[in-house]
Amino acid sequence: MAGEKICVVVVSGTRERLQMAAMVASVAAVSGIEVTIFLSMNAVPYFIKGASTDAPSEGNFGDLVVKKKAPDFKTLFRQAVELGDAKILPCSMALDIAGIETDTLEPYLGEPTGLASFLDAARDAQIWTF
Amino acid sequence: MAEKKIIDGRGSFCPGPLMELIGVLKMSQIGDELEVLSNDKGSAKDIPEWVRKVGHEYVSTREEAGVWHITVRKAK
């Protein structure tokens, strides 16, 4: 297990993908795997402090996730950081395009990161894309 | 002295009960026994798997009226 690394790339803003990404990231992080989460595109706005987590569903399952009270995706991402030392890196390009200031983001997020740095972190890691 | 703690994860789904267990494990002492209550079948399978993987001690699982009682001991 030592040295195992995964990178979770999250670009979707839909409930099912955010949920699955958060599940993979949190369980991996608490299982001794080094986890780096790269947030870009439609996933970013959910990580503005106080933003709604009411993500649209792609299908019936997204609604079931809410109805059955599965753990909220944002809670799982936060737990990945707090319990498993995962890093969540917002994409600097996405922040620039959307005009989002770093200090408006959740405090458990890391520094805005560009692709060159992310690709460096992703070297020798499994990549999971959502 | 080792303590026994109950973690009520009923009503939550995978990986909710596991994350609740980990939160309590972090604040526990070596030797403490933690019993997770869950009505999520996936967690009943997944928690023992996680415990073995990370090196804590898996004690037992029993099902009672649709609720799984998964007991683990903090080993490190």
For residue B24, which residues of chain A lie inside 8 Å, CB to CB? none
- How many domains in chain A? 1
Could you count the other beta carbons within 10 Å of the beta carbon of residue A111?
A: 10
Interchain CB distance below 8 Å, A30 and B18: yes
- Domain map of chain B by residue range? 4-73
Residues A6 and A28: their CA atoms lie apart, in Å, by: 8
Q: Which of B5, B10, B12, B14 is catalytic?
A: B14
A61: domain range?
5-129
Is B31 catalytic? The answer is no
Give me the mean pLDDT over the A8-36 stretch: 98
What residue type is assigned to position A36 of the chain? Answer: T
User: Which residue is listed with tokens 């917002």?
Assistant: A90
How is residue A88 written in tokens? 């969540």
Which residue, among A76, A79, A83, A86, has the nearest Cα to A34 in the 3D structure? A86
Q: What does the mean pLDDT of chain A come to? A: 96
Residue A66 contacts B, CB cutoff 8 Å:
no
Quick one: tokens of B65?
A: 């009226």
Write the CATH number for A89: 3.40.1260.10
pLDDT > 60? residue B57: yes
Interface residue A1 vs chain B (CB under 8 A): yes
Q: How many CB pairs under 8 A join A and B?
A: 40
Place of tokens 């009682």: B69
ipTM of this complex prediction, to 2 decimal places: 0.85
Domain B4-73: assigned CATH number: 3.30.110.40
pLDDT tens, residue by residue, A65-108: 999 989 999 999 999 999 999 999 999 999 999 999 999 999 99
Within the 84-103 window of chain A, which residues sit less than 8 Å (CB to CB) from chain B?
none
Phi first, then psi, for residue A60 (nearest 5°) are -60, -30
